Amino acid sequence: MKFFRNRWVALFLAAAVVAGAALLNTRIMLDRECRQLEASFFQSETDVLTPYYYINSRIGTAAALAAIGDLYPDLAEETQALRDARRALVYAADAKDLSAMYDANGDLTAAGDAFCRAARQLELDPGDEEAVDDYDDSLQGAQRQLDRSSYNQEVQTLLRTVYYRFPGSFLARITGLQPPELYE
């Protein structure tokens, strides 16, 4: 017991408690900031449409294109490729896996482009022809919005200004805190 009455021991313990509390608080705040940023990909606290909204828009548009493709046997291969790409994007979106969404969205772009090119080479019903053009515009417009999203820039800013700087870098390393995932 005399050991704890020593002024130097008490001073050391007090400093350790204060440093530990400061580090824990910083770690909690950094984790909260990282998770809030990741959540902003999926849900907005304002009326701003999120990248996830545009992913879902592309999923719906691909389904509509595939429905048109079902009407034309000459588009069977392109329709199946479009459905497969759409399904992969649905799975990635449901899992909220940004990297898988990015890859699947790229595949959907390629499949959608191939479908629309093939559809334009056929003689479609005038209403279907117009719908293909409209859905192609929708796919491309949603992709432009995804490309304009500031999500990756915000993640890079957080990484550069907080996560990779002391004490964030130190805390991330010793606690295993994962940075927010980039959409790439």
Q: pLDDT of 76-115, one tens digit each? A: 999 999 999 999 999 999 999 999 999 999 999 999 999 9
Radius of gyration of the chain (CA): 25
pLDDT for residue 177: 78
Q: Where are the domains of the chain?
A: 2-43+153-175, 51-149
Q: pLDDT of 122-177, one tens digit each? A: 999 999 999 999 999 999 999 999 999 999 999 999 889 887 887 777 777 777 77
pLDDT for residue 66: 98
- What is the C-alpha to C-alpha distance for residues 134 and 61, in angstroms, rounded to an integer? 10
pLDDT for residue 129: 96
pLDDT band at 3 (very low <50, low <70, confident <90, very high): low
* CATH, domain range 51-149: 1.20.120
Q: Does residue 124 or residue 10 have the better pLDDT? A: 124
Asked if the model's pLDDT at residue 25 lies above 80, the reply is no
Q: Does residue 133 or residue 25 have the better pLDDT? A: 133
Structure tokens at 75: 């588009």
pLDDT for residue 130: 97
- What pTM was computed for the model? 0.83
- What is the C-alpha to C-alpha distance for residues 106 and 113, in angstroms, rounded to an integer? 11
Report the 3 state secondary structure along the chain. CHHHHCHHHHHHHHHHHHHHHHHHHHHHHHHHHHHHHHHHHHCCCCCCCCHHHHHHHHHHHHHHHHHHHCCCHHHHHHHHHHHHHHHHHHHHHHHCCHHHHHHHHHHHHHHHHHHHHHHHCCCCCHHHHHHHHHHHHHHHHHHHHHHHCCHHHHHHHHHHHHHCCCCHHHHHHHHCCCCCCCCC
pLDDT band at 1 (very low <50, low <70, confident <90, very high): low
